[in-house]
């Protein structure tokens, strides 16, 4: 098997995650889909790392994880406070950005 | 260790088998994450996908990342998700009905176009030659990563540290609520309780013991549900399940069966008529 | 000595400033102050003249550089003066006649409350006119040019409580503005062509420029001259300008300001010499105006308007002569000076008559005044003889020379111009005799004025008669002094140049012809107005007479062609503006508004919609990247 298949898998997962972001209304699920996209990227980085024969790709993937952790903390806090304010976790309910 | 290192440079049949099997599961997991109606199911599916990804990391020679993926990502972050899901309401199932006109078609079209383009791009690129990580991992994967992190990427590393701290503080700021009135003391609470009409403990939910879930209101003797039996938080959110009609239907079915068994035929008892009139 | 030049302008300018800013406390001495300062200007001019006479012909150009007005790289506008023979002639005429008319005005305006202001305006005019003639560059000349326009406006409208005077002032100002545009365009053309507008730089190098440019400059200068000198087609303001006080008519609208156009053309002679087409235009304008003014002068019953027509006609002679080129420049100026004397004298005489007749201007209500106003009659009569060209008087010398020069132009042109000039002389004789007969001869046709006062014709006070007498002397002798022995020719020739034309007829023949037409003109006038009594109410008259009474329909022409045409143009422009321009503007606004109204719906506030557009954009970018790589 050609290891490039990992990249196809990564792009497939990324696309599924992106479609999920667009389709789902529940903020938590949207957020999970974002995580899925990040993980797909990580898989690609790891595959690239293997392709080039050095560890820089893994380092980047590692940093992605750290940033994702920070993002999750803040994002979930936002969801919680949003839920407190609106009693709803739907992203469509927060549609005040229009005339 | 040597076997794993070898797996990084060559694509053995074992790895191919592993890829095709686990890859299929990962895609199914990802699709389920998107398509499950309940957030908690989505979270579980995602956790599964992540674990499979961890396996793939390991297969690709990224041993440290594979472990971190399992421990930190799947273990910690996904649990955080689950906590929030619980907080928001674990039973709340989303409707998958689309409310924005054309959104779903656009999303699918964009997703398909994007995926096709990505795959086409990867297919176009000449990525046939893989160097493998045998040499890079020679001194151990963790050691190699550590060397890079504390030399080449030390600034990025420090900055991500600052970012984590900031994120933690930010989360606290976001979820912190300033108390706008003095908290009632225990004495005041007990006095208020004494003055209220419910001096004894509130009734427990699930009088008929068919359901002891916290969100099911207990039934009064006449079969109507009492909201007092449910937690105040759930009451405010409106997340109370009403099982009174089910319970009455069950009760009726039970009586029907016992009367059938006793051979009373279709004689309607006065009580049943009373129920029907109600 | 040359430093005195600036004082020529400074003295009357000081008078103007003091009199106009001084307020009422100067009322009692204002007129004297103004007169003294005008006289001071004349004295300075005379001193400079004597000094100039003492020098050789080549050294007679005095210059004085006062200061740099706009000292910018490549645009040097200086305030500097140049006093040569041509300027000197004008300086003496302006300050001399100006001083006399100041003196005359002391008497004439005695009963006017605003006499101080009047003298302030007169001083302003003298200062501006002197600046015009002694400027050493076209830009400074333009300052003087506008200054006399302003003074003329103020003085025509001096009795602004009369609507007719206010309107006339406005009309004069507006018509003059057309000419001023010509001058300013000419100056701009000069600057683009020569890079300067100093006489000393432009005129010597004029022949270097292309003929087309010189023709353009010449035509623009001609337009300017037409405006200021009341030549066809910008002649319409002069008749109405007679609404101003009579001394103003005498000074500005007869003797000095209206001759500024002649000065401009003669001063720019080098340009016209190199642009024959422009020169031809000048002669045509002069010839047409000559007849136009003369015909109008025949029909008018208002004594001042008759004289105004005459002025127009006489300036037509000058312009005609100036258009003849070097043949005629000297005679144009000579006629200008003699005309300055006798026309000022005639106007002052007319003023004197009006003064005695309760400000009546209709000649049909005069008659037999020679016994009541002997001095006026004598001076007016001498002016009359001078203007019709009675042998020996000034008009004879100057006009005769112009007719000769017109014939000397040569060819068919020469015959036509000469014929026109001769015809003009005949008509001049006719209408001036008519004025003379209707005013001073025949029987009394006096009528009470609007307030019922009976006229008591009487001789005017000495302050008015003395200037008339002085001017009468000028009318009689100026021509002789200038003409005999070609003194004036020799005096001016170094500046303007002179060429003897190739006349198909001898000078004697021309003189004889002039005499014949003079006799014919006088004869006809006597036959019509001398032998028969003059009707007190104007007869209906022929079609030409009626047209001439309406100034040959000049105002109707202006109304139909310019006013109506302008209105139509404006209306169509407004229409275009409303439909086309506004349509484009409003259409653009409406389409932008409609488009944004539709685009606004894209902003529905749903984060997911925005996410779709981001995602689609990312897909497009990837597609573009792949496409570029593939190509």
**Residues B49-68, mean pLDDT to the nearest whole number:** 92
As a whole number, mean pLDDT of residues C473-500 equals 86
Bridge partners for A26 per DSSP: A90
Q: Which two tokens stand for residue B179?
A: 């108390």
Count other Cβ atoms within 10 Å, centred on residue C212. 10
- pLDDT for res C449: 74
- How much is the pLDDT for B205? 62
User: Whole-number mean pLDDT of chain C?
Assistant: 89
Nearest Cα residue in chain C from B115: C619
Q: What distance in Å separates residue C603's CA from the closest CA in chain B?
A: 12
Q: How far apart are CA B30 and CA B35, in angstroms?
A: 9
- 8 Å CB contact of A35 and B171: no
pLDDT at B271 over 70: no
pLDDT score of C188? 92
- CA dist B209 and C353 (Å) reads 136
Strand partners, C551: none
What was the pLDDT predicted at B155? 93
To probe the interface with B, which of A49, A61, A81, A86 has the most B CB atoms within 10 Å? A49
How far apart are alpha carbons C555 and B245 in whole angstroms?
Answer: 106
**Secondary-structure breakdown of chain C: helix, strand, coil percentages, each rounded to the nearest 5:** 75, 5, 20
- pLDDT of the residue at C567: 92
- Cα(B8)–Cα(B62) distance, integer angstroms: 9
Gyration radius (Cα) of chain C, Å: 30
Is the model's pLDDT at B269 over the cut of 70? no
Per-residue pLDDT at B91? 59
Domain boundaries, chain B: 7-93+103-132, 136-172, 206-277
Prediction pTM value: 0.64
Q: For residue B188, is pLDDT > 50?
A: yes
ipTM here: 0.92
**Are C616 and B106 inside 8 Å of each other by CB?**
yes
Put simply, the answer to whether C606 touches A91 (Cβ < 8 Å) is: yes
Per-residue pLDDT at B267: 52
Average pLDDT of the residues in C54-81: 84
Provide the pLDDT for residue C485: 79
**Across the interface, which of B100, B103, B113 has its CB nearest the CB of C619?**
B113
CB C87 within 8 A of CB C141: no
pLDDT tens digits for range B65-123: 999 999 988 888 888 888 888 887 665 667 777 778 888 888 889 889 998 988 888 88
Cis status of the peptide bond prior to B85, with omega within 30 of 0: no
Inter-chain Cβ pairs, chain B and chain C, closer than 8 A: 36
For residues B72-105, one letter each, b for 16 or more C-beta atoms within 10 angstroms of the residue's C-beta and e for the rest, the string is bbbeebbeebbebbeebbeebebeeeeebeebbe
Give dist(CA B260, CA C78) in Å, integer. 131
How much of chain C, in percent, has pLDDT values that exceed 90? 50
Instruction: Say how many C-beta atoms besides its own lie within 10 A of residue B261's C-beta.
Output: 8
Give tens-digit pLDDT for B169-178: 999 988 887 7
Class of domain B7-93+103-132: mainly alpha
Is B108 part of the contact surface with chain A (CB cutoff 8 Å)?
A: yes
pLDDT tens-digit readout, A29-45: 999 999 999 999 999 99
Distances (CA, A) of C628 to B123, B125, C221, C622, C625: 16, 14, 67, 10, 5
* Predicted pLDDT at C170: 92
Count the Cβ atoms, other than its own, within 10 Å of residue C625.
12
The residues in A 14-33 lying below 8 A from B, measured between CB atoms, are 14-20, 22-26, 28-29, 31-33
Is C608 within 8 Å of B117 when comparing Cβ atoms?
no
The CATH number, out of the four listed (1.10.3720.10, 3.40.190.10, 1.10.10.60, 1.10.287.3510), of the domain defined by the range A4-86: 1.10.287.3510
Give residue C504's pLDDT band: very low, low, confident or very high (50, 70, 90).
confident
Q: Residue C396 pLDDT more than 50?
A: yes
C217, C189 in Cβ contact below 8 A?
yes
- Looking at residue B6, what is its pLDDT? 42
pLDDT in tens, C138-195: 999 999 999 999 999 999 999 989 999 999 999 999 999 999 999 999 999 999 988 8
Contacts of C626 in chain B (CB under 8 A): 117, 120-121, 124
Specify the DSSP class assigned to residue C2: G
Closest CA to C146 of C190, C96, C183, C101: C183
Please tell me the distance in Å from C606's CA to the nearest CA on chain A: 5
> What residue segments make up the domains of chain A, in order of their start?
4-86
Helices C411-440/C276-299 angle, 10° precision = 20
CA distances from C279 to A58, C214, C393 (A): 95, 11, 30
Q: Which pLDDT does position B8 carry in this prediction?
A: 43
Using CB atoms, list chains with 3+ pairs below 8 Å to chain B. A, C
Which of C598, C601, C605 is most worth mutating to test chain A (most A CB atoms within 10 A of its CB)?
C605
For position B277, what pLDDT does the model report? 54
Average pLDDT over residues C358-371: 85
- With CA atoms as reference, report the closest residue to C393 among C484, C467, C507: C484
Q: How confident is the model over C565-605, as pLDDT tens digits?
A: 999 999 999 999 899 999 999 999 999 999 998 888 877 88
Q: Which residues of C touch A96 (CB under 8 A)?
A: 605
Pairwise CB contact (< 8 Å): A97 & C600: no
pLDDT of residue C182: 93
B1 pLDDT tier (thresholds 50, 70, 90) = very low
**Which position has the higher pLDDT, C447 or A14?**
A14
* Chain CA centroid to CA C282, Å: 15
pLDDT above 70: residue A59:
yes
Residues of chain C that touch chain A, judged by Cβ-Cβ distance less than 8 Å = 600, 603-608, 611-612, 615
| Chains touching A (3+ CB pairs < 8 Å) | B, C
SS3 content of chain A, % helix, strand, coil (to 5): 80, 0, 20
CB contact residues (below 8 A), chain B span 160-179, against chain A: 160, 163-164, 166-168, 170-172, 174-175, 177
Strand-strand pairing, C62-72 and C75-83: antiparallel
Tell whether the model's pLDDT for residue B206 goes beyond 80: no
The Cβ-side half-sphere exposure at B54, using a 13 Å CA radius, reads 18
Q: How far is C606 from chain B (nearest CA, A)?
A: 8
Distance (Å) from the alpha carbon of C587 to chain A's nearest alpha carbon: 25
Q: Is A96 an 8 Å CB contact of chain B? A: no
Compute how many other C-beta atoms are within 10 angstroms of the C-beta atom of residue B122.
16
Which tens digit of pLDDT belongs to each residue from C101-153?
999 999 888 888 888 999 999 999 999 999 999 999 999 999 999 999 999 99
Task: Nearest by CB to B81, from A19, A28, A39: name it.
Answer: A28
């Amino acid at each position: 098997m050609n290891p490039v298949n990992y990249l196809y898998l990564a792009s497939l997962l990324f696309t599924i995650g992106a479609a999920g972001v667009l389709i789902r209304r529940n903020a938590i699920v949207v957020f999970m889909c974002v995580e899925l996209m990040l993980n797909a990227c990580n898989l690609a980085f790891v595959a690239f790392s293997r392709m080039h024969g050095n560890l820089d790709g893994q380092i980047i993937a590692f940093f992605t994880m750290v940033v994702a952790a920070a993002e999750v903390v803040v994002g979930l806090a936002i969801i919680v406070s949003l839920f407190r304010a609106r009693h709803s976790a739907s992203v469509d309910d927060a549609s005040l950005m229009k005339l | 260790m040597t076997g794993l290192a070898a797996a990084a440079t060559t694509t053995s049949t074992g790895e191919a088998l592993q890829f095709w099997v686990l890859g299929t599961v990962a895609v199914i997991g990802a699709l389920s994450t998107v398509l499950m109606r309940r957030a908690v199911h989505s979270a579980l599916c995602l956790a599964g996908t992540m674990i499979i990804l961890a396996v793939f990391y390991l297969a690709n020679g990224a041993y440290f990342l594979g472990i971190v993926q399992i421990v930190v990502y799947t273990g910690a972050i996904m649990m955080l998700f689950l906590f929030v899901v619980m907080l928001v309401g674990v039973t709340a199932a989303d409707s998958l009905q689309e409310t924005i006109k054309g959104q779903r078609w656009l999303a699918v079209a964009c997703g398909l176009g994007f995926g096709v383009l990505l795959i086409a791009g990867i297919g176009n690129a000449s990525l046939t030659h893989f160097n493998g990580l045998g040499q890079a991992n020679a001194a151990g994967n963790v050691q190699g990563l550590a060397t890079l992190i504390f030399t080449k990427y030390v600034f990025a590393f420090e900055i991500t540290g600052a970012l984590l701290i900031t994120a933690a503080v930010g989360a606290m700021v976001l979820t912190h609520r300033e108390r706008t009135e003095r908290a009632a003391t225990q004495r005041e609470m007990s006095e208020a309780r004494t003055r209220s009409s419910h001096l004894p403990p509130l009734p427990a939910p699930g009088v008929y013991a068919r359901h002891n879930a916290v969100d099911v209101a207990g039934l009064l003797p006449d079969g109507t549900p009492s909201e007092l039996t449910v937690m105040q938080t759930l009451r405010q959110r409106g997340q109370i399940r009403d099982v009174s009609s089910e319970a009455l239907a069950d009760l009726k079915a039970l009586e029907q069966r016992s009367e059938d068994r006793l051979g009373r035929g279709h004689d309607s008892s006065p009580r049943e008529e009373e129920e029907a009139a109600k | 000595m040359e430093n005195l030049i600036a004082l020529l302008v400074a003295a009357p300018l000081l008078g103007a400033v003091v009199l106009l800013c001084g307020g009422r406390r100067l009322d009692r001495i204002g007129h004297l102050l103004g007169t003294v300062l005008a006289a001071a200007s004349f004295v300075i001019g005379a001193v400079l003249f004597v000094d100039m006479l003492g020098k050789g012909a080549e050294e007679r150009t005095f210059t004085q550089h006062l200061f740099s007005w706009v000292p910018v790289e490549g645009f040097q506008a200086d305030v500097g003066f140049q006093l040569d023979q041509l300027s000197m002639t004008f300086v003496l005429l302006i300050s001399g006649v100006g001083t006399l008319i100041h003196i005359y005005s002391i008497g004439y305006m005695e009963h006017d409350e605003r006499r101080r202001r009047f003298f302030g305006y007169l001083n302003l005019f003298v200062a501006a006119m002197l600046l015009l003639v002694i400027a050493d560059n076209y830009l400074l000349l333009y300052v003087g040019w506008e200054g006399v326009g302003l003074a003329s406006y103020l003085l025509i409208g001096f009795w602004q409580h009369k609507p007719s005077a206010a309107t006339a002032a406005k009309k004069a100002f507006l018509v003059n503005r057309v000419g001023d545009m010509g001058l300013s365009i000419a100056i701009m053309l000069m600057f683009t062509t020569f890079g300067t507008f100093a006489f000393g730089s432009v005129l010597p190098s004029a022949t270097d420029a292309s003929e087309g440019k010189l023709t353009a400059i010449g035509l623009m200068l001609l337009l300017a001259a037409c405006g200021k000198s009341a030549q066809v087609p910008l002649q319409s303001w002069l008749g109405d300008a007679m609404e101003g006080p009579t001394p103003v008519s005498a000074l500005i609208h007869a003797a000095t300001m209206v001759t500024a156009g002649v000065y401009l053309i003669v001063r720019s002679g080098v340009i016209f010499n190199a642009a024959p087409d422009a020169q031809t235009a000048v002669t045509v304008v002069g010839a047409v105006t000559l007849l136009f003014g003369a015909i109008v002068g025949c029909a008018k019953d208002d004594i001042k308007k008759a004289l105004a027509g005459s002025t127009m006609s006489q300036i037509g002679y000058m312009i005609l002569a100036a258009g003849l080129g070097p043949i005629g420049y000297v005679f144009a100026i000579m006629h200008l000076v003699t005309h300055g004397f006798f026309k000022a004298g005639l106007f002052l005489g007319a003023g004197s008559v009006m003064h005695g007749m309760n400000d009546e201007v209709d000649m049909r209500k005069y008659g037999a005044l020679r016994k009541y106003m002997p001095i006026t009659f004598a001076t007016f009569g001498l002016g009359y003889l001078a203007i019709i060209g009675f042998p020996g008087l000034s008009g004879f010398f100057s006009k005769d020379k112009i007719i000769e020069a017109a014939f000397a132009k040569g060819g068919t042109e020469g015959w036509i111009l000469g014929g026109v000039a001769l015809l003009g002389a005949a008509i001049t004789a006719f209408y001036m005799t008519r004025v003379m007969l209707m005013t001073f001869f025949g029987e009394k046709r006096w009528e009470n004025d609007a307030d019922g006062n009976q006229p008591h014709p009487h001789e005017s006070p000495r302050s008015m008669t003395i200037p008339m007498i002085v001017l009468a002397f000028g009318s009689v002798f100026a021509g002789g002094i200038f003409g005999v022995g070609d003194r004036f020719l020799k005096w001016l020739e170094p500046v303007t140049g002179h060429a003897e034309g190739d006349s198909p007829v001898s000078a004697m023949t021309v003189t004889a012809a002039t005499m014949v037409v003079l006799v014919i003109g006088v004869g006809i006038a006597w036959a019509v107005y001398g032998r028969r009594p003059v009707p007190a109410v104007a007869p209906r008259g022929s079609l030409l007479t009626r047209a001439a009474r309406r100034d040959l329909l000049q105002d109707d022409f202006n109304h139909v062609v310019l006013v109506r045409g302008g209105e139509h143009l404006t209306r169509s422009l407004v229409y275009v503006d409303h439909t086309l321009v506004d349509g484009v503007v409003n259409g653009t606004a409406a389409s932008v508004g409609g488009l944004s109204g539709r685009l606004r719906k894209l902003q529905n506030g749903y984060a997911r919609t925005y996410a779709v557009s981001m995602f689609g954009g990312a897909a497009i970018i990837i597609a573009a990247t792949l496409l570029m790589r593939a190509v």
